[in-house]
Structure 1
Amino acid sequence: MPSASRRRPPPPHRRRAMPPASSTFSISISAPQPPKPLYLRRPLIAVAAALAALLLIAAAYATWRVGSPPAALLGRPAAASRFYSFDLVREYPHDPDAFTQGLLYGGNDTLFESTGLYHRSSVREVELPTGKVLVHHQMDGDMFGEGLTLLGDRLFQVTWLKNDGFIYDRHNFTKRKSFTHKMRDGWGLATDGKVLFGSDGSSKLYQMDPKSFKVMKMVTVKYQDNEVPNINELEYIDGEVWANVWQTDCIARVSPEDGQVLSWIFLHELRRNLLNSGYTVGSLFVIVLFCPVVDGPFWN
Structure 2
Amino acid sequence: MNSAKFFTLNVLLVFFLSCGGEKDPASFFGLQFEKGKKEYRPMDTIYPVIRNRKELPLDSLNFTLKGRELPAAGRGYVLDSEKLGVHDLTANFRSDGREITLSEEIKILAPEPPQLYTYTILNEFPHDMTSFTQGLEFHRDTLYESTGSGGGAKSYVRKVDFTTGEVYQQADLEEEYFGEGITILNNRLYQLTWQGKVGFVYDASTLERIDKFQYGKSKEGWGLCNDGNSLYKSDGTERIWLLDPQTLEEKEAIQIASNKSIFNKANELEFVDGKIYANVWQKESMMIIDANSGAIEGVVNLGGLREKVRQHPKLDVLNGIAYHPGRKSFFVTGKNWYTLFEITLHKKE
Using the size of structure 1 for normalisation, the TM-score is 0.67
Go from structure 1 to structure 2 and tell me whether the alpha carbon gap of 1:204 and 1:79 turns closer, same or farther (over 3 Å shift).
closer
Which amino acid counterpart does residue 340 of structure 2 have in structure 1? F
> Which segments of 5 or more consecutive residues in structure 2 lack a partner in the other structure?
1-109, 316-335
| Secondary structure of the structure 2 residue equivalent to 1:254 | strand
- 2:197 aligns with 163
Distance 1:201 1:114 in 2: 18
Find the counterpart in structure 2 of residue 25 from structure 1. none
Q: Supply the AA of the counterpart residue of 2:122.
A: V
AA matched with 2:132: F
The structure having more radius of gyration, on CA atoms, is 2
Task: Report what 1:292 is aligned to.
Answer: 346
Corresponding residue for residue 176 of structure 2: 142
**Secondary structure of 2:304's partner?**
helix
How far is the alpha carbon of 1:159 from its aligned partner? 0.2
Quote the residue 1:107 is aligned against. Answer: 140
1:117 aligns with 2:172: no
Q: Does residue 1:131 correspond to 2:165, yes or no? A: yes
1:282 corresponds to 2:337: yes
Alpha carbons of structure 1 residues 224 and 106: separation in structure 2 relative to 1, 3 Å? same
Q: Following the alignment from structure 1 to structure 2, what is the Cα–Cα distance between the partners of residues 240 and 269?
A: 24
| Structure 2 Cα separation of the partners of residues 94 and 78 of structure 1 | 40
C-alpha distance after superposition, 1:206-234 (max 9, x if no partner): 11111122222212101113011121000
Question: How far has the Cα of 1:175 moved from its partner?
Answer: 4.0
Give the letter for the 1:256 counterpart: A
2:252 is aligned, of 193, 212, 217, to 217
Task: Return the match for 2:290 from 237, 248, 255.
Answer: 255
Instruction: Give the paired residue count.
Output: 215
Q: Could you tell me which of 297, 303, 317 is aligned with 1:268?
A: 303
Structure 1: distance between partners of 2:252 and 2:233: 11
Relative distance call for 1:167 and 1:140 in structure 2 (3 A) is same
User: Aligned pair in 2 of structure 1 residues 79, 259: CA closer, same or farther (>3 Å)?
Assistant: closer
- Check whether the contact 2:113–2:259 (CA below 8 A) recurs between aligned residues: no
Which one has a larger percent strand, Structure 1 or Structure 2?
2
Query: 1:59 maps to which residue?
Result: none
Tell me the distance in 1 between the aligned counterparts of 2:166 and 2:221: 27
SS of residue paired to 1:223 = coil
Residue 176 of structure 1 deviates from its aligned partner by 2.1
Shift of 1:88: 0.7
Shift of 1:81: 3.4
Q: Matched residue of 1:117: which SS?
A: coil
> Which consecutive aligned stretches of 4+ in structure 1 deviate over 3 angstroms post-superposition?
77-81, 277-281
